[in-house]
Copies of this chain bind each other. A is one copy, B any other.
Amino acid sequence: MTMPKRDTYTPDSLLTVAVQVFNERGYDGTSMEHLSKAAGISKSSIYHHVRSKDELLRRALSRALDGLFAILEEPGAGEGRPVVRLEYVTRRTAEVLMAELPYVTLLLRVHGNTDTERWAMARRREFDHQVAELLKHAAADGDLRADVDLRLATRLLFGMINSIVEWYRPELGSVSAREEVAEAVVKLAFAGLRT
């Protein structure tokens, strides 16, 4: 039994705890009671910060999605040949995934059981769609191999990036480790393993 502690949470630090519990127990399997225990504050203290469990979910998923969409606004995503922009977006997507690991992990596991989950899935599809458009432009320039279907290539590219959540642990990874992983993703996806 944990003694309730004084509520010194900010909206952000409470979100950190909530996302961890969501990832461990699944969103559906998490009650306000679980959140209260994990945070070490009473349920009414939690309700002081947020109206509902759904609000925590929406804020957590927004953080992941905002991080991803922000990439598309960066100069590297908008300038130069499409294939170079595509490589940039690939690298940055991997980096954001690692920097915001618990939030992106939650996003990738959402199943569409609630309005909030469906909203997040729609935004995620929109992000994927914008990257797929970049692939199309790069292919139209003749910069991508023509013998792999573009939809398939998009899926495998995201599959490789998203698989990072299965094994990457931020406690082991400095920023330079993140950069090394992101660089490896770009090399593999665009130039391949073979010499």
A residues contacting B by CB (< 8 A) are: 83, 142-149, 152-153, 155-160, 162-164, 166-167, 180-181, 184-185, 187-195
Contact = CB atoms under 8 A, between A and B. Distances in A.
Given A144-B193, A156-B185, A163-B163, 19 more contacts: A142-B195, A143-B195, A144-B194, A145-B195, A148-B184, A148-B187, A152-B180, A153-B184, A155-B163, A156-B163, A157-B193, A158-B163, A159-B162, A159-B166, A187-B192, A188-B192, A189-B193, A190-B192, A190-B194
Contacts of A144: 193-195
23 contacts: A142-B195, A144-B195, A145-B192, A145-B194, A148-B184, A152-B180, A152-B184, A153-B188, A155-B163, A156-B184, A156-B185, A156-B188, A159-B160, A159-B163, A159-B166, A160-B160, A187-B192, A188-B188, A188-B189, A188-B192, A190-B193, A191-B192, A191-B194
